[in-house]
């Protein structure tokens, strides 16, 4: 093999790499991190990537490029970042081009996850743009011999009181932006925003509704070939026999790649690759092991596995004690991300360098893992994010990228496109982990919660790459890399214990996290992580306690909540819904309410739901939902509304229908027949989202804040409609019917 090639940024900018980005800048390294002993840290991701030119470039003809290390996953933040940069630079929205995650071009911002994009990258771009604007004004002042005070900016130029104008392109000079960010920026007054806080149409939608090239699935590189992987039939299966002679004779088949238990086929055309995959799969024999747990006994399975226990909240006030006590146990099954488009990647191995186009959520950590798998230096591997189908967490994206890399290495100089099949995505994606929560609380004579006990059992909620052992291809290859030991995600954000600590104030409160290292099924991060089930549990239990106290559920929540912004979203959602104490719903319907602040530090969200339950069939349908959300300073109100609407509808599907099924050996939910999700007959009549804007306040991540409250508000409405409390997710027709009949 040739000596490894190191792709550096300068070479890429000069046109030596696969992606040419033309702007006039010399010394600039996006990957350049904070120098040792850097002074006070800049806001957001400026803390780790402090140079302004890692975030913004201005070229001599005034074209402006904003860079983000985050990946557009369909949340629309690419548009939001463009708004932020345009606003703080005082240029029209259209003047900015946004480049997203690419190991050669953008900052290392880790994963696009945890509702962090606005908080990390949005904040960095906001402050970088404001500081670049100040630098341009200072440069203009020097050139014009004026003081900065009299100068202003408008439409991409610095304007002097006498009318003289210097465009940003005229002002910018080599290295001018290669300076470290200051801890403080002169930010614009939100009262004069022209682009931010406005519902600017998304930049990616026109291509998506006209058949433009919008996804990694749509990439067609010259000489590209199509590959399919033949996956083992189950976890840990060993390939004992594989006769590839028949498949090699099929028309268009270029190569069969076998490396231990990793098996793939490459063909000239896509459907030929599929036929070859089927032929090859039929010519294999695998030795399987029957060691999956009992699907219908997850409560005992999880609470019996060895766990590492930690008390994450311990508050006591011996002067307060409860009189009546309630206990309850809630469970969540394994659930699937269920991307509509199965994972896909394109890889090209040429001149000792590997380039991979992928819809991974973390180009840098995935590069680290793939480089380790290939035993190549990371600098010789480049990952470029290209949108895929929505992922909602760690789906097959990283694995598909690794598959493509492994196959491309066996077929140098030809771009290889790997597309997973539906059953591969469903069977092999890392699922959202199953969870158990046990709650116990007591009320005092005044109907206040005196004592709160919460315990959660869960795996980790992230087995994302970093090391090669998280990748299927690396696990399956002959020199296989072992799955790294699971680690709990640290608080305050947490993983299985995300949102396990209630935001409410209780005199006595005790919260325990039982972290289970052993993972019977392949699991990782799914939208909201543990917060989905923890908020479902807390907010269901709050309703049960309100009922015990004879209190209205909304008033009962407010009784225990001091947080002003939390109270505001609760009051707003209740008011917009028309919530009234003892209000009678129409026959067969119920009202439900729930609230959370995501991670106790991101966006606030309260949701009121009206659910209809058919007592004959047990079928529940969300009729309408009203949400109130506080996400700090709003950048794109329609984008935020879209996220919350989507969260409610998706969480409704998880909550009413979804669980991964398996026998003792194999995953058996392998398509939309065996893993049904919501269809249009279940879509609500209406969803209203009310935004409480907080001008000038920090951005709070909001992509995941709706998942937990939506689930609990639906569960509470079902309880209200039927008088029966369901505590095991999903709240299926069968379970509701059984509860009604019990």
Partner 1 sequence: MMTLKVNGHDTQIDADPDTPLLYVLRDDLKLNAAKFGCGLGQCGSCTVIVDGKAVLSCVTPLVLLEGKQVTTLEGLGTVSAPAPIQRAFMEEQAAQCGYCIAGMMMRAQALLLRNPKPTDAEIRAELQSNLCRCGTHMRILRAVHRAARLMDTADASANERSGR
Query: Which stretches of the chain bind partner 1, using CB under 8 A?
Result: 73-76, 201-202, 204-215, 217-218, 220, 226, 251, 269-272, 274, 338-342, 387-390, 392, 419, 421-422, 638, 642-643, 645-650, 652-653, 671-673, 677-681, 683-684, 686-687
d(CA 601, CA 604): 8
The least distance separating partner 1 from the CB of residue 532, rounded to whole angstroms, comes to 14
- Rounded CA gap, 377 and 10, in Å? 18
Going by their DSSP bridges, the two strands 381-385 and 353-358 should be labelled as: parallel
Nearer to partner 1, 193 or 215 (CB): 215
Shortest distance (Å) from residue 269 CB to partner 1: 5
CB of 573 to partner 1, least distance (A): 17
Nearest to 513 by CA among 524, 501, 521, 525: 501
DSSP conformational letter for 509? E
End-to-end Cα, the chain, rounded Å: 69
Residue 377 CB coordination number (10 Å) = 12
Q: What is the DSSP string of 44-108?
A: GGGGTS-BGGGTEEE-TT--EEEE-SS---SS-HHHHHHHHHHHHHT--GGGEEEE--BTTTS--
* 548-581 burial: b if 16+ Cβ within 10 Å, else e: bbebbbbebbbbbbeeebbbbbbbbbbebbebee
CB 95 within 8 A of CB 61: no
Strand, coil or helix: what is 130? Answer: helix
Smallest distance, partner 1 to C-beta of residue 361, A: 13
Nearer to partner 1, 390 or 466 (CB): 390
- State which residue, 517 or 684, has the beta carbon closest to partner 1: 684
Pick the closer one to partner 1 by CB: 234 or 641. Answer: 641
Please, which residue, 252 or 517, has the CB nearer to partner 1?
252
CA angle, residues 8, 126, 143, in degrees to nearest 5:
80
Closer by beta carbon to partner 1, 194 or else 269: 269
Complex with partner 1: residue 50 or 74, whichever CB lies closer:
74
The answer to whether 708 touches 599, Cβ cutoff 8 Å, is no
The residue (of 182 and 279) whose beta carbon lies closer to partner 1 is 279
Cβ 671 to partner 1, closest distance in Å? 6
Query: Shortest Cβ distance from residue 683 to partner 1 (Å)?
Result: 4
276-314: b (≥16 Cβ within 10 Å) or e:
bbebbbebbebeeeeebbebeebbebbbebebeeeebbe
Residue 72 Cβ vs partner 1, minimum distance, rounded to whole Å: 9
Q: What is the dihedral of CA 105, 108, 112, 114, to 10 degrees?
A: -160
Q: How far is the CB of 62 from partner 1 (least distance, A)?
A: 24
Report, in Å, the least distance between residue 209 CB and partner 1.
Answer: 5
User: Is the N-terminal amide bond of 263 cis, ω within 30° of 0?
Assistant: no
> Three-state SS for 161?
coil
- Specify the residue, 642 or 661, whose C-beta has the smaller distance to partner 1: 642
158 vs 648 by CB, closer to partner 1: 648
Q: State the nearest-atom distance from the C-beta of 425 to partner 1, in Å.
A: 9
| Closer residue to partner 1 (CB): 69 or 388 | 388
Nearer to partner 1, 40 or 680 (CB): 680
160 vs 677, which CB is nearer to partner 1? 677
The answer to whether 684 touches 714, Cβ cutoff 8 Å, is no
Residue 223 burial by Cβ neighbours in a 10 Å radius (0-12, 13-18, 19+): exposed
Residue 493 tokens read as 């954000």
Which lies closer to partner 1 via its Cβ, residue 359 or residue 597?
359
Write down the residue that tokens 């409390």 correspond to: 725
To partner 1, the closest distance from the beta carbon of 22 in angstroms equals: 23
Shortest approach of partner 1 to residue 267 CB, angstroms?
Answer: 11
Determine the 3-state secondary structure of 451 from DSSP. strand
* Cis-peptide, bond into residue 492, ω within 30° of zero: yes
Nearest to 298 by CA among 716, 661, 675, 676: 661
User: H or E stretch including 597?
Assistant: strand 589-597
CB of 488 to partner 1, least distance (A): 28
Q: Is 160 exposed, middle or buried (0-12, 13-18, 19+ CB in 10 A)?
A: middle
Sign, CA torsion 627/632/636/639: negative
CB of 589 to partner 1, least distance (A): 19
């Amino acid at each position: 093999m040739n000596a490894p090639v190191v792709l550096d940024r300068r070479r890429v900018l000069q046109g030596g790499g696969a992606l040419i980005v033309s702007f006039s800048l010399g010394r600039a390294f996006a990957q350049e991190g904070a120098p040792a002993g850097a002074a006070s840290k800049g806001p957001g991701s400026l803390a780790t990537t402090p140079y302004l030119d890692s975030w913004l470039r201005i070229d001599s003809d005034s074209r402006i490029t904003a860079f983000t290390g985050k990946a557009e996953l369909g949340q629309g933040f690419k548009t939001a970042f463009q708004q932020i940069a345009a606003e703080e630079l005082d240029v029209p929205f259209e003047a900015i081009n946004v480049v997203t995650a690419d190991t050669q071009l953008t900052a290392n911002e880790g994963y696009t996850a945890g509702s962090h994009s606005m908080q990390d990258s949005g904040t960095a771009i906001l402050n970088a743009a404001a500081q670049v604007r100040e630098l341009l004004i200072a440069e203009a002042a020097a050139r014009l011999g004026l003081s900065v005070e009299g100068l202003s900016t408008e439409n991409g130029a610095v304007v002097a009181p006498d009318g003289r104008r210097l465009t940003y392109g005229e002002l910018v000079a080599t290295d001018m932006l290669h300076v470290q960010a200051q801890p403080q920026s002169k930010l614009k007054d939100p009262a004069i925003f022209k682009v931010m806080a406005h519902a600017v149409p998304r930049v990616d939608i026109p291509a998506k509704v006209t058949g433009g090239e919008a996804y990694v699935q749509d990439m067609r590189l010259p000489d590209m070939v199509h590959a399919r992987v033949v996956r083992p039939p189950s976890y840990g299966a060993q390939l004992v026999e594989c006769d590839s002679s028949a498949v090699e004779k099929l028309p268009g088949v270029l190569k069969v790649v076998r490396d231990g238990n990793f098996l793939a086929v490459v063909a000239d055309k896509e459907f030929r690759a599929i036929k070859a995959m089927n032929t090859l799969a039929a010519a294999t024999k695998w030795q399987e092991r029957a060691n999956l747990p009992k699907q219908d006994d997850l409560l005992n399975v999880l609470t019996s596995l060895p766990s590492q226990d930690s008390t994450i909240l311990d508050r006591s006030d011996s002067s307060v004690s409860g009189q009546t006590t309630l206990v309850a146990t809630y469970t969540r099954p394994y659930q699937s991300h269920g991307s509509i488009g199965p994972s896909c990647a394109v890889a090209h191995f040429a001149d000792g360098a590997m380039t991979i186009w992928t819809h991974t959520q973390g180009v840098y950590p995935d590069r680290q893992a793939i480089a380790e798998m290939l035993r190549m230096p990371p600098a010789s591997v480049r990952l470029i994010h290209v949108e895929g189908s929505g992922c909602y967490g760690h789906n097959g994206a990283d694995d598909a990228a690794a598959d493509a890399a492994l196959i491309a290495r066996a077929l140098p100089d030809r771009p290889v496109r790997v597309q997973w099949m539906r059953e591969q995505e469903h069977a092999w994606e890392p699922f959202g982990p199953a969870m158990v929560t046990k709650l116990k609380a007591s009320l005092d004579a005044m109907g206040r919660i005196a004592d709160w006990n919460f315990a959660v059992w869960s795996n980790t909620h992230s087995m994302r790459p970093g090391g090669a052992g998280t990748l299927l291809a690396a696990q399956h290859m002959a020199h296989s890399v072992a799955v790294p030991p699971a680690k709990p995600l640290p608080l305050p954000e947490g993983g299985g214990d995300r949102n396990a600590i209630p935001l409410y104030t209780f005199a006595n409160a005790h919260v325990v996290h039982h972290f289970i290292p052993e993972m019977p099924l392949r699991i990782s991060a799914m939208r909201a992580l543990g917060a989905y089930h923890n908020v479902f549990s807390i907010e269901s239990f709050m309703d049960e306690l309100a009922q015990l106290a004879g209190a209205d559920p909304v008033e009962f929540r407010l009784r225990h909540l001091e947080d002003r912004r939390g109270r505001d979203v609760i009051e707003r959602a209740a008011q917009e819904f028309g919530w009234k104490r003892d209000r009678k719903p129409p026959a067969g319907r119920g009202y439900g309410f729930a609230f959370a602040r995501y991670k106790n530090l991101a966006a606030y969200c309260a949701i009121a739901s009206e659910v209809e339950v058919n007592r004959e069939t047990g079928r529940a349908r969300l009729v309408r939902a009203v949400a109130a959300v506080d996400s700090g300073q709003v950048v794109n109100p329609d984008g935020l509304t879209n996220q919350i609407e989507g969260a409610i509808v998706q969480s409704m599907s998880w909550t009413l229908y979804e669980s991964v099924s398996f026998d003792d050996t194999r995953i058996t939910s392998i398509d939309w027949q065996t893993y049904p999700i919501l269809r249009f007959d279940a879509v609500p009549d209406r969803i209203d989202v009310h935004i409480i804007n907080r001008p000038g306040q920090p951005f709070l991540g909001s992509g995941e804040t709706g998942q937990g409250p939506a689930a609990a508000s639906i569960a509470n409405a079902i309880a209200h409609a039927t008088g029966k409390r369901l505590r095991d997710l999903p709240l299926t027709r069968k379970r509701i019917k059984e509860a009604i009949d019990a």
